[in-house]
């Protein structure tokens, strides 16, 4: 069973989003530079071809970004929900959120929490607005792996 730390949950989604923004920005800057260089020297056709290639790459990356936008939004919302759940569990158990790990990156019915005191199952009410912590004992603790932030 894999558990994810609070820091891992907070940092895992944002890194890839920043990477995409950096790639799009770099492609836009390179496109503008090639276009400006072509407009200054209209006889040099290679900069026209390079600017067309970079513009095509830029449009491709923008299309992929637009396609993944709803998935990224949903993922960010779920990450926000699970991190707020971790904070609430930490408050109830009187521990810091950084000492808690959960077995899922999104809120679901079988959410398990690993704390320094032991393992807890999170039972949500039917509306999903509140939860109860139930202490559990796991049969095999040798199969537990904890994913931490880098």
**Which residue from 124, 127, 126, 82 is spatially nearest to 107, judged by alpha carbons?**
82
Quote the pLDDT of residue 85.
85
pLDDT tens readout for residues 28-62 = 899 888 888 888 888 878 888 888 898 898 888 88
Flag the least confident range among 23-32, 67-76, 77-86, 89-98: 67-76
Reply yes or no on whether the pLDDT at 13 is more than 80. Answer: no
pLDDT band at 15 (very low <50, low <70, confident <90, very high): low
**At how many degrees (to 10) do helices 45-93 and 6-40 cross?**
160
The pTM is what?
A: 0.59
Residue 145 or residue 98, greater confidence = 98
3-state secondary structure of 123: strand
Share of the chain above pLDDT 70, in %: 84
Confidence of residue 104 (pLDDT cuts 50, 70, 90): confident
Supply the pLDDT for residue 132.
87
User: Burial code of 58-76, b = ≥16 C-beta within 10 A, e = fewer?
Assistant: beebeeeeeeeeeeeeebe
Q: Could you give the CA distance from residue 67 to residue 56 in angstroms, rounded to a whole number?
A: 16
């Amino acid at each position: 069973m894999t558990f994810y730390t609070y820091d891992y949950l907070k940092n895992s989604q944002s890194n890839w989003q920043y990477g995409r923004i950096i790639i799009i920005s770099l492609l836009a800057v390179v496109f503008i530079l090639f276009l400006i260089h072509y407009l200054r020297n209209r006889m040099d056709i290679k900069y026209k071809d390079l600017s067309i290639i970079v513009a095509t790459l830029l449009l491709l990356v923008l299309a992929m970004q637009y396609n993944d936008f709803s998935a990224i939004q949903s993922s960010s919302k779920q990450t926000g929900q699970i991190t707020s759940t971790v904070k609430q569990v930490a408050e109830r158990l009187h521990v810091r959120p950084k000492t808690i790990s959960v077995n899922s990156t999104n809120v679901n019915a079988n959410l398990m929490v690993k704390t320094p005191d032991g393992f807890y199952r999170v039972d949500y009410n039917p509306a999903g607005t509140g939860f109860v912590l139930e202490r559990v004992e796991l049969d095999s603790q040798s199969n537990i792996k904890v994913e931490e932030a880098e």
